């Protein structure tokens, strides 16, 4: 008997019905795989919205690329189609772990990757979409059960994990499974206002080969790994975009700004906030019972932002337990400056060429010792001179990574 021909699946059989489009009033929304026989993700629980699906697809690509590049479990915390933070597995400090009731010394690799990713901008990560590059274990599932998050995409789930996640948000927590072997078509298309745009997919691999051109300084192994992580992050971040990276985790990401230096300043401010949250005055705030986890996170951020209103000062004092030397108020300028001066070893990565040296000057204020950018600007010589003047290692990737 001959082999029966494989039946071609009809489009309606592979259609993924979405909860709604970009906005709830866009009630008709669905997704159809380009290849009816194989989709990159499938839904295990819940119903995605249009934005959920965009977050899942971008975030999964980011962590898969980071894992392939660095050989470590990777995690990303996505909001509105850009990462709030991303990281690979590594050491977790008290500032990142204790708000979530995790022992810093006991966090497993996947949990550490997510804690480090969420810690970059925990205010923005509230209600995030999570992506991890390895099978979700019970430890990570139990952490996710305690944080405010909308969904997760991963290549698999260990036994018992789906039972834990099924209880989150009354069963509405979105759980998606990615196909780790899926490779997209060579071209990609989108329709905008009745016009279909088609382009070749960007397939340039992120390998150490893209960092061969180092005109200023010496690229250490640690900085090289941070540049590669930064490139993976920016490949799936709305442009213009830059990121500050240190020891395998993003500290600040600036996305979607029309001016690159505005991205640099925005991400730099987030980097300062990340570091100031580690100041003992801020890290060790003792909150009263009943103050919610995210409120504690947000109060620490407001404290280091340094512009509390009188009403906020009163509410913060009411939230903090007991009396302590120096009431909960802004860090005074001297202590703030002294603490910020201790931040170093930060790598700055840009998805496009730096058009002026002002990006270098601003980046240096946030502990940057290495910069990676494509080069090729008419003022690339000025950028190189600025790095040499400030003692910053400069690597030119020759690779633009715009994402829209």
Task: Give, as one character, the DSSP assignment of residue 4.
Answer: P
Q: Which of 52, 79, 270, 366 is catalytic?
A: 79
Helices (runs of H) and strands (runs of E) counted in the chain = 14, 16
Helix (H) or strand (E) holding 46: none
Q: Which of 80, 123, 169, 403 is catalytic?
A: 80
Cα dihedral 127→184→237→30 (10° resolution): -40
- What is the CB neighbour count within 10 angstroms for residue 370? 29
- What is the CB neighbour count within 10 angstroms for residue 38? 12
Among 87, 17, 22, CA closest to 54: 22
Helix (H) or strand (E) holding 199: strand 195-200
CA distance 166 to 171: 5
Tokens of 351: 């998805």
CA distance 267 to 283: 21
Segments in 120-245 forming alpha helices (H): 138-144, 161-166, 221-234
Is the four-CA dihedral 384, 388, 390, 391 of positive or negative sign? positive
User: If 0-12 CB within 10 Å is exposed, 13-18 middle and 19+ buried, where does residue 37 land?
Assistant: exposed
N- to C-terminal Cα separation, the chain? 52
User: Scanning the structure block, which residue is given the tokens 């090729």?
Assistant: 376
CA distance 145 to 149: 9
Among 73, 57, 145, CA closest to 114: 73
Among 326, 280, 14, 267, CA closest to 120: 267
Q: Is 240 tagged catalytic? A: yes
Contact 340, 317 (CB under 8 A): no
Q: Which of 52, 58, 168, 240 is catalytic?
A: 240
Task: Give, as one character, the DSSP assignment of residue 122.
Answer: T
Q: Is 366 tagged catalytic? A: no
Q: Is 80 tagged catalytic? A: yes
Backbone angles phi, psi at 322, to 5 degrees: 70, -175
Q: Residues 23, 29, 35, CA angle at the centre, nearest 5°? A: 135
Tokens of 116: 């480090």
Among 157, 152, 153, 141, CA closest to 108: 141
Q: Which amino acids are annotated catalytic? A: 79-80, 240, 404
């Amino acid at each position: 008997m001959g082999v029966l021909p494989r039946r071609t699946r009809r489009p309606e059989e592979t259609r993924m019905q979405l909860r709604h489009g970009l906005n709830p009033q866009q009630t008709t929304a669905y997704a159809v795989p380009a290849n009816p026989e194989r989709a990159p993700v499938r839904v295990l629980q819940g119903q995605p919205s249009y934005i959920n699906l965009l977050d899942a697809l971008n975030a999964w690509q980011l962590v898969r690329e980071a894992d392939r590049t660095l050989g470590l479990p990777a995690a990303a915390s996505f909001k509105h189609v850009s990462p709030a933070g991303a990281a690979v597995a590594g050491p977790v400090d008290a500032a990142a772990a204790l708000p979530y009731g995790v022992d810093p010394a006991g966090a497993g690799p996947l949990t550490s990757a997510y804690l480090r990713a969420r810690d970059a901008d925990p205010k923005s990560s509230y209600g995030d979409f999570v992506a991890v590059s390895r099978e979700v274990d019970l430890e990570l599932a139990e952490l996710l059960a305690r944080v405010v998050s909308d969904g997760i995409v991963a290549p698999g789930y260990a036994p018992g994990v789906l039972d834990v996640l099924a209880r989150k948000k009354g069963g509405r927590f979105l759980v998606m499974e990615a196909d780790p072997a899926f490779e997209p078509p060579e071209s990609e298309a989108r329709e905008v206002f009745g016009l279909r745009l088609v382009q070749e997919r960007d397939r340039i691999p992120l390998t150490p080969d893209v960092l061969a051109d180092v005109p200023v300084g010496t690229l250490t192994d640690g900085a090289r790994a941070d540049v590669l992580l930064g490139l993976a992050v920016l490949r799936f971040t709305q442009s213009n975009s830059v990121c500050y990276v240190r020891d395998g985790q993003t500290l600040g990401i600036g996305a979607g700004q029309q001016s690159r230096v505005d991205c640099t300043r925005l991400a730099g401010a987030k980097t300062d906030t990340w570091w100031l949250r580690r100041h003992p005055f801020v890290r060790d705030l003792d909150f009263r019972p009943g103050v919610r986890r995210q409120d504690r996170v947000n109060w620490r951020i407001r404290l280091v932002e340094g512009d509390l209103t009188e009403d906020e000062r009163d509410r913060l004092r009411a939230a903090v337990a007991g009396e302590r030397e120096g009431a909960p108020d802004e860090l005074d300028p001297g202590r703030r400056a002294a603490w910020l001066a201790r931040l170093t070893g930060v790598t700055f990565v840009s998805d496009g060429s730096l058009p002026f040296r002002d990006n270098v000057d601003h980046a240096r204020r946030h502990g940057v010792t290495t910069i990676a950018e494509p080069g090729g600007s008419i003022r690339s010589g000025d950028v190189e001179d600025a790095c040499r003047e400030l003692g910053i290692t400069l690597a030119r990737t020759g690779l633009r990574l715009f994402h829209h």
